[in-house]
């Protein structure tokens, strides 16, 4: 049992008294469609609890029956699984502004875990509240459904990337995705972003060994176009890197 999960209802997770959670949902869902004034108003009134997830802590584990929707206020989460040998596969990274667990609304048992890559602030909204909201606003239900479908598209892209591309293209592709999503979330200017991952994290996302990740990063660094240092990812010319990576943002289905 994660100590965190036991404290979801304790003081560690305090009721949000402002509209920060609602604002996050408004911004996030706006990435995938249009909100009516009524939708916006309803979202802004979302009530939830806010707390801190320490680096390495899980908020959802395999086998859990989710009861809350999780939103990332700041920091970075990972969705991952462990195989029989204890090897981790990271399926996605989530940045501030992302809502990783809308899927939990209709999945009874988690087949993967959600944890903090770095110390993060997260918000929790009960499924009960979410269902009430979605029931009253069918357009929001459609948008949330759509959001989960876009996440599925991202999984497919990761599948294609990890199955086919060479190490440097894989790595560049992941970086392009992260920068593009960070920009959409207002966390990047398209040139650099906070990416607080270790090389082991990258290895477990890309399906490569740490040693090879290290060497690949050096290669990319030597081109002068890509640098990851002290948790800051910097890209020279996005188009150049995207080309190297074979990156096409269509799968992210961003309306912007």
Partner DNA sequence: CGGGTCTTTGACCAAGGTCAATACGCGTGG
Partner DNA sequence: CCACGCGTATTGACCTTGGTCAAAGACCCG
Which residues of the chain form contacts with a second copy (CB under 8 A)? Answer: 79, 81, 83-84, 87, 89, 91, 103, 105-109, 111-112, 135, 138, 141-142, 145-146, 148-153, 155-156, 158-160, 162-164, 206-207, 246, 250-251, 253
Is 102 within 8 Å of 114 (Cβ atoms)? Answer: no
65: left (phi over 0), alpha (psi -120 to 50) or beta: beta
Interface with DNA: number of residues (CB under 7 A): 18
CA–CA distance, 97 with 235 (Å, rounded to integer): 22
The count of C-alpha atoms lying within 13 angstroms of the C-alpha of 58, restricted to the half-sphere facing its C-beta, is: 15
Minimum distance, C-beta of residue 24 to DNA, in the bound complex (Å): 28
Q: Does 214 bind DNA (CB under 7 A)?
A: yes
Residues from 70 through 109 that contact DNA (CB under 7 A): none
8 Å CB contact between 111 and 76: no
Which phi and psi angles does 176 have, rounded to 5°? -60, -45
Quick one: tokens of 52? 């801190």
Half-sphere exposure of 132 (CA within 13 A, CB side): 10
Answer with the entry of DNA, a second copy, none that 155 interacts with (C-beta below 5 to 8 A by kind).
a second copy
Q: Give whichever of 56 and 131 is closer to a second copy, judged by the CB atom.
A: 131
- C-alpha to C-alpha distance for 180 and 187, rounded to whole angstroms: 10
Cβ burial of 225 (10 Å; 0-12, 13-18, 19+) is: middle
Residues 83/49, Cβ–Cβ less than 8 Å: no
Which of a second copy, DNA, none lies near 141, with the C-beta cut-off 5 to 8 A by kind?
a second copy
Q: Rounded to whole angstroms, what are the CA distances from 29 to 9, 25, 46, 97?
A: 26, 6, 14, 10
Among 218, 222, 255, 256, binds DNA (CB under 7 A): 218
- Considering CB distances under 5 to 8 angstroms, the limit depending on partner class, which of DNA, a second copy, none binds residue 109? a second copy
Of residues 144-203, which lie at the interface with DNA (CB under 7 A)? 166-168, 170, 198-200
Q: Measured from the CB atom, is 136 or 232 closer to a second copy?
A: 136
Chosen from a second copy, DNA, none, partner binding at 166 (C-beta under 5 to 8 Å by type) = DNA
Least separation, in Å, of the C-beta of 54 and a second copy?
25
**Residue of 38, 211, 232, 239 interacting with DNA (CB under 7 A):** 211
Nearer to DNA, 101 or 118 (CB): 118
Q: What are phi and psi of 228, to 5 degrees?
A: -125, 110
Contact set with DNA (CB under 7 A): 166-168, 170, 198-200, 207-212, 214-215, 217-218, 230
């Amino acid at each position: 049992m994660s100590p965190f999960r036991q404290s979801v209802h304790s003081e560690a997770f305090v009721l949000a008294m402002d509209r920060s959670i609602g604002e996050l949902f408004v911004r996030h869902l706006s990435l995938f469609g249009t909100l009516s004034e009524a939708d916006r108003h309803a979202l802004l009134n979302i009530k939830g609890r806010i707390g801190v997830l320490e680096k390495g802590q899980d908020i959802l584990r395999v086998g859990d029956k989710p009861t809350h929707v999780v939103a990332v206020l700041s920091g970075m989460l990972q969705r991952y699984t462990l195989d029989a040998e204890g090897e981790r596969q990271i399926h996605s990274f989530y940045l501030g502004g992302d809502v990783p667990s809308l899927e939990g609304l209709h999945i009874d048992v988690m087949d993967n875990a959600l944890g903090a890559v770095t110390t993060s602030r997260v918000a929790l909204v009960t499924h009960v509240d979410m269902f009430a909201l979605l029931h009253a606003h069918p357009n929001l239900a459609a948008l949330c459904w759509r959001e989960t479908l876009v996440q599925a598209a991202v999984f497919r892209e990761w599948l294609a990337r990890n199955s086919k591309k060479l190490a440097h293209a894989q790595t560049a592709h992941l970086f392009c995705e992260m920068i593009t999503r960070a920009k959409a979330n207002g966390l990047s200017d398209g040139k650099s972003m906070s990416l607080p991952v270790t090389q082991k994290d990258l290895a477990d996302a890309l399906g490569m060994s740490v040693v090879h990740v290290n060497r690949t990063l050096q290669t990319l660094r030597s081109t002068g176009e890509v640098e990851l240092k002290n948790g800051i990812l910097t890209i020279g010319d996005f188009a150049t890197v995207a080309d190297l990576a074979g990156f096409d943002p269509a799968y992210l289905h961003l309306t912007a």
